A and B are shown apart, each in its own frame.
Chain A
Amino acid sequence: MDANSRRLLFRIGTVGFYVDLGALVEIREQVTEQVDYGQVDPQLSVTGALAFRRTMIPVIDLSERLGLESGLTDTALVLHSSEGNWALLVDRVEGFCSVPEMVDHPLPQLLQAPGWRCFHQLAIFNGAPFLRLELSSCYAGGQP
């Protein structure tokens, strides 16, 4: 099955998100002790750097920018984009599902605030909403 026909479901705080499985490189657990918190750029939501396959990759924590209360985040999704690999801190990985198992919706206009956002659509899986995380809006290789 094509990786892009499956999705990875996870939560930041209590809010559900998903990404296409094709963007996922690896799920790294117990990352707290592996992150170098000396390399921080709050403007880009970069909270540190993680050693990954002989390179250091940026670690992105979106919870503050999204106004979410995050728990003891200890899991990172290593994701691939045109800028290379980067890691996204998440609170919990919910699992995988296939595209036909979800019902896709645009975000209703009444729920769209002006300004930056990293999601414009969502999908419903088993009665629960998951926002489609737009990776290019989360990390763009140094562009805020």
Chain B
Amino acid sequence: MNERLGLFRMAACSYAVPLGRLLRVIDNGRVEPLPLTPDRMSGMLIVDNRVVPLLDSAGLPGVEAGKELGAGFQVLLATEYGTIALPADTTVGIVAETRGKWIAGDQDVTGFLPEYFYYRKNRFLVLNVDDFIMDLVRS
């Protein structure tokens, strides 16, 4: 792997996404409620007249449910099921993977790579977008 990563935090947990899948970061987008949503989804955003499903914060490992409504940012990712938004309360920036190092993970988390990205004394869990979405769809 030799690419750049988009880094963000949600409720004191740190995450990374491959830049090739990162479409855009929205500052304080308006979350539209939707009745009868699946458990791991929270609602939707309307972006450029398109519907973007928003992940519930509990869909991110280590984060409690319901935090997405207070999140200041939404990270938009391209997936084979269309665009999806992840909640974020802090954006860290974009960094080349050569600026950090990869370390072996101590547990398997579905939808994430087995290695962590270690950067500036922080350990980022790296999203495997295809696996993550497949797990969402199956659930």
Contact = CB atoms under 8 A, between A and B. Distances in A.
Interface of A: 13-15, 66-68, 103, 105, 107-113, 115, 117, 122, 124, 127-129, 131
B35 interface: yes
8 smallest A-B Cβ distances: which pairs? Answer: A66-B35, A110-B53, A113-B38, A103-B49, A111-B53, A105-B51, A108-B53, A113-B36
B76 interface: no
A105 B81 contact: no
B50 to A, nearest CB: 7
- Chain B contact residues: over half helix, strand or loop, or mixed? mixed
Contacts of B34: 15, 111, 131
B23 to A, nearest CB: 15
Contacts of A67: 35-36
Given A67-B36, A113-B36, A129-B32, 7 more contacts: A110-B133, A111-B37, A112-B38, A113-B37, A124-B46, A124-B51, A129-B46
A87 to B, nearest CB: 20
Contacts of B33: 13-15
B1 interface: no
A115 B136 contact: no
A137 to B, nearest CB: 12
Query: How large, as a class, is the contact surface on chain B?
Result: 20 to 34
B41 A110 contact: yes
Contact of B36 (A66, A108, A110): A66
Contacts of B82: 108, 110
Given A110-B137, A111-B41, A105 B50 contact: yes
A115 B81 contact: no
B84 interface: yes
A106 B41 CA distance: 17
Interface in B81-100: 81-82, 84
Contact of B51 (A13, A113, A117, A122): A122
B60 interface: no
B35 A15 contact: yes
Interface hub of B32, B39, B50 (most chain A Cβ within 10 A): B32
B41 A68 contact: no
Interface hub of B37, B49, B51 (most chain A Cβ within 10 A): B51
